[in-house]
Homo-oligomer: A and B are copies of this chain.
Amino acid sequence: MQKVLIVEDDDAILNLIRVNLAAEGYLCACAADGKTAADRLENETFDLILLDIMLPEINGYELLEYIRPTGTPVIFLSAKSGVDDRIRGLKLGADDYIAKPFQIGELLARVEALLRRCGRHSRRLIFADVEIDLPSRTVRKAGQEVELTVKEFDLLVELIQNKNVALYRERLYEKVWGEPYMGDTRTLDSHIQRLRRKLDWDRYIRTVFRIGYRLEEGK
């Protein structure tokens, strides 16, 4: 599922976009001003950003400067419909420029085209405040990168892919270590603990006594 950030201060337009993107199966995040958007960008990554130019606080151009180094594709949305505005937006680094008022169908088509091109099937997992990008093997908690070792990372992925399932120690071990579980060592437990500590996840990684562990959604 692709994740799109919509930065737009006009409620009506924001909702129009949000509803339509959601209906197409995109995961939407919204920000009504530049500051809020900057905060979210600090803490999350997106597959695409729809960016209004005229915003309170920080405007779209400034925000673009900030986004550019991350390589995230951006489509400008703007009431400024002049050719010069379009050229300026594109030259500054936007990937597309849609003038308001626009037809929602065209916006959807342009979003689709851009994501198709960017090929970012950026397979990622999200659980609670933690975001995992599989190809790059990076983990971010509340936007902050957390350094995990190979085993920790693989274990985390295995847990998230089976959230809310009580995983037997045998199964976990065999999946992550790729060899049969002999029991009677503290290996798995130690790694679970390291994960709990690094992610501050005591509340999510629950021990299932005599069985194994379960990554639990909800509180």
Question: Interface residues, chain A, CB within 8 Å of chain B?
Answer: 69-71, 73, 83-84, 86-87, 90-91, 93-96, 103, 105-106, 109-110, 112-114, 116-118, 133, 135-138, 149-150, 163-166, 208-211, 214, 216-219
Evaluate contact between A218 and B105: CB separation under 8 angstroms.
no
Q: Specify the main secondary structure of chain A where it touches its partner.
A: mixed
- 30 intermolecular pairs with C-beta atoms under 8 Å apart: A69-B217, A70-B217, A71-B218, A73-B117, A83-B105, A83-B106, A84-B105, A86-B106, A86-B109, A87-B106, A87-B109, A90-B110, A90-B113, A91-B109, A94-B113, A95-B114, A95-B117, A96-B96, A96-B113, A114-B117, A133-B164, A135-B165, A136-B164, A136-B166, A136-B216, A137-B166, A137-B211, A138-B166, A149-B209, A150-B209
The residue on B at minimum CB distance from A120 is B119
Evaluate contact between B105 and A87: CB separation under 8 angstroms.
yes
Known interface pairs A70-B218, A71-B217, A218-B70; A113-B95 also in contact (CB < 8 Å):
yes
Partner of A69, one of B91, B95, B114, B218: B218
- Cβ of A180 to closest chain B Cβ, rounded Å: 21
The residue on B at minimum CB distance from A87 is B109
- Cβ of A213 to closest chain B Cβ, rounded Å: 11
